[in-house]
Structure 1
């Protein structure tokens, strides 16, 4: 006789939800998962380009046993993380993982995860984002879905700006209102994310309107957008021309989601000739400086003291985007470096200084240099600028030097399975190579747990000693404090 599943129910403000108990491997802790709980109504029909609207209460117990619908449609093939697409309209939902469902006295710290994907892809339904390891260590974990691409971030006359950002805010409001029922403490919320998700949490850190919703920030490989108003309007005009409609809410509402996605993908295609412009100007779709929610670029906001009371950990991998050019290494080796780097508009002095500071990378070939330059301009310089903008505000910096044995580089996304301590998850070895070191997961995950619980990850803060930080690498030197770990980007600042 098969034993029936161990269900557990929790009362939220909108209604009762039913989750499922699971055992956490390697421990005596049990964790409960609640999947696909809506925090807002489905953004379709008249709500398609609207601000998120509060979900309607439900009278009966609602099953929260399967992943909810995702804004990602199909597999765009641009992330290295298994992030499944789930069909359906109700994409504004949360997943909650907790060791103390229904215990309103537990008051456990909370980690809220915002997924990456360049603001156009990605999914909260990834098995890597399951919070069971954090639950094992006494942390309630939440992942948030949000609108992507043009629907979430495109400039549309007559529609509220930054709809994806408004989704983040609505999800965090849900956490404030409901997480106590799941054993969490709404006064101890850390927001975290990787890539565009890292950019998302930095954006929120710089937003005055978001300050009451979280208490700490952990940004992995944060990719800020801060799309300028004129650039947002220009992309909207291109979309309208491609679709043959006015650049208005009525115009875009008259076009199917599939057609909008097709136009978006066509207009967002990247190649080496356009990479320099994208790297210099940033992503074309993402949080935009709208004069409303986001009044100025994030670094300016942080420099003026917004979020200064909140501790921040941020960092990057050494070779975020090296994979993007690896398959062209045999061709790139014949192109003079000065010509190869011309699209990035570096002055001769900057180029010479940068190459001199990166001699070990230069020795690995032209593809390695190009990959490192893209990495530095899109990610690693942002780490330094953000840390410096924060001044004395509590800030810790790290870098990931662990090299995938498959790609021979510390590539984009490689930190995520170590952060979540899920090395036994699906296709992890396709990114890390076989037998990724558990000792490194122990170190990276423990730092995250310590930060969520205490506001300190356990190494010297950049804000206390400028240019200090920690490097995570292969055993035996799994975690090593260092000074000047980002000195090689100085020429680009």
Structure 2
């Protein structure tokens, strides 16, 4: 069955299945090609009649992940120029004013698309949320730094999509004043920048950062990938010169230069840069509520399938610690708490904490209320407790504090049996979206549905009420640990190791 909604650009035809209306491939900006290539996003052109929104729109130009990651994280290529498109899933019928969630996918700012079945928004719509997923420019076209083009073009695309949501989402039953943005990895890093960008202020009231901390670099550092690509191509490092290169050739050289980089191993890549416009050098503190967290063994996605965890010897570990000027006391602390761990596992754990979990904790700390509530006395709460037990504590135990943006922290700890990936990077996405059947490359065929129910419910609750179901961040450092068979709040997990990096 088909259904029709009206946007400011024209009418779109979607499809209804099982009580959920899906509108796919709606343009939110003009195709960024021809004269618009390497430029800021331009408004989408209006159309006459009713436009079919029944299939996913074109994806941003990209190359697949390198082996063996291509077996775990698929790449879908939908050809066409109009890659600045989005998808909407919404409950069929009923009143408007529903909460809205906007998904920004990850992929190191050079991979990914909303066409992956993993990101199907039907479960969110089933549970009363209008779900929007956004495609944006990737790689050198979205995040290459040039002297003759706007910086952070992919981020500008995301802002254009948020403005489209503000202007049009009521036609799909959503409340434009009740928007939560959420994303994973590079998507979360993008959202961290959006929370402080003056261009995105007022576009959303809540944000969820999954396995992606705030991270920006100076323009000079951000331009490294473009300089390396220009050398390979034999052209000047300008947008004008790059626009004249065949797109296939450009993607091949991009893959040569940055295809082997990963968040833990470093190497040239694409970054959000400080441009003092979209991304200010001295941003004001964000006023939105935050839910943020990471997976317990993030590093294993890159270290295990490639065999890196096996290849790292004790000597390699020592050299890596010297390279990153890691204090000896930190290394000894990680070794002592993991007596049976291999050198590669110790290095992976340290890299995860240094690059991801630590920065996320520091972000949460920076948002602690100006008047910190008095914590319950030591011993009144065990070091581990269920969410229900924590909620049973009288609010009076914490005293009173002025209203301020709230922060909630989680950790995903369930271990995948696939290739010994454990609780690796990206594993939680299928649980959040309640799309486990579409995430079997990472989760296997027997992932626990009750854990997906719990995690999906928490995300819906946060978007709907601002409360995911556990205590907000405080001096007690409560972390909701999602695991199977038991999930619950843990206070200050591995705090000694995380504080060692300060």
State TM-score, norm by structure 2.
Answer: 0.87
| Secondary structure, counterpart of 1:96 in structure 2 | strand
Which of 43, 52, 72 pairs up with 1:63?
A: 52
Alpha-carbon distance, 1:408 to partner: 4.9
**1:3 aligned residue:** none
Alpha-carbon distance, 1:224 to partner: 4.0
**Contact 1:149–1:286 (CA under 8 A) maintained in structure 2:** no
- 1:434 lines up with 2:465 in the alignment: no
Which of 363, 367, 371 pairs up with 2:348?
A: 371
Per-residue deviation, residues 162-197 of structure 1 (Å, max 9, x unmatched): 100100000000000110000100000000001111
Alpha-carbon distance, 1:250 to partner: 1.7
Which of 27, 46, 52 pairs up with 1:38?
A: 27
Which of 295, 299, 321 pairs up with 1:321?
A: 299
| Secondary structure, counterpart of 2:102 in structure 1 | strand
- Partners of 2:185 and 2:322 in 1: CA distance: 26
Per-residue deviation, residues 401-436 of structure 1 (Å, max 9, x unmatched): 1111222510111100000111222xx232113311
Alpha-carbon distance, 1:251 to partner: 1.5
**1:27 aligned residue:** none
**1:468 aligned residue:** 478
Alpha-carbon distance, 1:74 to partner: 4.2
Alpha-carbon distance, 1:276 to partner: 5.2
**Counterparts in 2 of 1:410 and 1:72: CA distance versus 1, 3 Å:** farther
Aligned length: 460
Q: Which runs of 5+ in 2 are unaligned?
A: 370-404
- Partners of 1:275 and 1:224 in 2: CA distance: 15
- 1:405 lines up with 2:411 in the alignment: no
- Partners of 1:175 and 1:412 in 2: CA distance: 29
- Partners of 2:167 and 2:102 in 1: CA distance: 14
**2:468 aligned residue:** 457
- Partners of 1:98 and 1:390 in 2: CA distance: 33
**1:388 aligned residue:** 365
- Partners of 1:373 and 1:266 in 2: CA distance: 28
**1:343 aligned residue:** 323
Alpha-carbon distance, 1:213 to partner: 0.7
**1:134 aligned residue:** 124
**2:432 aligned residue:** 419
**Contact 1:16–1:62 (CA under 8 A) maintained in structure 2:** yes
Alpha-carbon distance, 1:128 to partner: 1.4
**1:26 aligned residue:** none
**1:332 aligned residue:** 312
Alpha-carbon distance, 1:223 to partner: 4.7
- Partners of 2:213 and 2:6 in 1: CA distance: 36
**Contact 1:354–1:492 (CA under 8 A) maintained in structure 2:** no
- 1:295 lines up with 2:273 in the alignment: no
**2:401 aligned residue:** none
**Contact 2:62–2:110 (CA under 8 A) maintained in structure 1:** no
| Secondary structure, counterpart of 1:482 in structure 2 | strand
Q: Which runs of 5+ in 1 are unaligned?
A: 1-5, 24-29
**Contact 2:63–2:251 (CA under 8 A) maintained in structure 1:** no
**Contact 1:387–1:395 (CA under 8 A) maintained in structure 2:** yes
- 1:485 lines up with 2:493 in the alignment: yes
Please, which moves more after superposition, 366-375 or 114-123? 366-375
| Secondary structure, counterpart of 2:223 in structure 1 | helix
**Counterparts in 2 of 1:334 and 1:438: CA distance versus 1, 3 Å:** same
Which of 235, 257, 279 pairs up with 1:267?
A: 257
**Contact 1:32–1:97 (CA under 8 A) maintained in structure 2:** yes
> CA RMSD for the aligned pairs?
2.1
**2:181 aligned residue:** 191
**Contact 2:63–2:111 (CA under 8 A) maintained in structure 1:** no
Alpha-carbon distance, 1:348 to partner: 2.0
**Contact 1:196–1:224 (CA under 8 A) maintained in structure 2:** no
Per-residue deviation, residues 237-285 of structure 1 (Å, max 9, x unmatched): 222222222222222222122222222222224479x96555xxxx731
Which of 84, 87, 93 pairs up with 2:85?
A: 93
Per-residue deviation, residues 280-336 of structure 1 (Å, max 9, x unmatched): xxx73121111111112xxx63xx42x22x110000001112232222444334646
Please, which moves more after superposition, 60-69 or 337-346? 337-346
State TM-score, norm by structure 1.
Answer: 0.88
| Secondary structure, counterpart of 1:199 in structure 2 | helix
Per-residue deviation, residues 214-240 of structure 1 (Å, max 9, x unmatched): 110011111544021221234332222
- Partners of 2:301 and 2:230 in 1: CA distance: 33
